[in-house]
Each structure stands twice: as structure tokens, then as C-alpha cells.
Amino acid sequence: MEGSLCFIELEGEGSLGLPILTSQSGQITRTSMRVIGFVNFGFDKHIYNVLEVNKTSYDNCIDKDFIYNVTRGGRDVFNLTEANTYFFLSGRGYCFEGMKVAVQVREIPPEPLLLNHGFRSYVYIHAILLAMLATACACIILF
């Protein structure tokens, strides 16, 4: 995902003090944004923790057998390395109070204009070439 743009969506209204998603464009909303590669979590590490879990654990607020313990110093970064749905929760019972978030990362497909070297179609290219030819002929006839 390094160097590519992705679209992410957040689910959940937990108050983990997170996530702060860092956007290349600086435009950040709670529902969707473009990001490059990471999520910043900010929380009091003496009270809360952040665990990456699977969907079943996320749905049922199970904080055992987690995938990864994001908790380090309370201002932690989690790298989003692939298009996937990432599930995070706070253990110690806080998940049951809504302290969980799902982050869906999807690759943004290239825009259709970029598929044909910036042109919409071969018909469009031919129309431009004909217009250029007509302009050139008109200039020659006038002189």
C-alpha cells in the first residue's frame, strides 16, 4: 500500500479517543477519508488498551486471543498494510460500552480517464485529431 491511495470507512461510535486517521490531503471526517498507510490511536494507557481482533471477537467484545496488541505508550500507530477490514476494541470491559472501531480499507481503482492515456475513447481521440486537421486546413486556406 506504500505510495497508493486507499479509501477507508469507520464503523462504531466508541470513545476510545481514537482513531485519529492521518490523511495526505488533510481532510478528515468520521465516515470516510483517503489515507496512506496508518492509523494513530491516542488514549490513556493506564486505563485503556487497543487490541486488533477478528470480526467474531469484535462483535462479541472478546479481548482474549487478539491478533495484535496495539498498546505501547498511549499514542500508538497501527500500519494499514493491505486492503482489508481491521477490527479494534478496548479490553477490560470498555468494549461493552462501545469502545470499538472497524476500519475498512479499500484500494481506489484508477479513474477511467487514466486507462486510455487520459482520453475517454478512441472515438474521442479521432474527433480531436479531425478537429486539429480541420483547423490546420482552415489556416492553410486562409493564407
How do residues 50-80 score in pLDDT, each as one tens digit?
A: 999 999 999 999 999 999 999 998 888 888 8
CATH number of the domain at 62, please.
2.60.40.420
132: containing domain: 112-142
Q: Are residues 132 and 76 in the same domain?
A: no
- CA triple 24-28-33, angle to 5 deg: 70
pLDDT at residue 82, as a whole number: 80
Report yes or no on 1 lying in a domain: no
Report yes or no on 58 lying in a domain: yes
Q: Are residues 57 and 121 in the same domain?
A: no
Q: Are residues 102 and 116 in the same domain?
A: no
Report yes or no on 128 lying in a domain: yes
Q: Are residues 97 and 117 in the same domain?
A: no
Cα dihedral 45, 47, 33, 29, rounded to 10, equals -130
* Chain-centre distance for alpha carbon 124: 33
3-state secondary structure 55-105: HHHHHHCCCCCCCEECCCCCEEEEECCCCEEEEEECCCCHHHHCCEEEEEE
pTM, two decimal places = 0.57
AA letter at 43: F
Number of domains observed in the structure of the chain:
2
Report, as ranges of residue numbers, the positions in the chain whose pLDDT lies below 70.
1-37, 108-126, 136-143
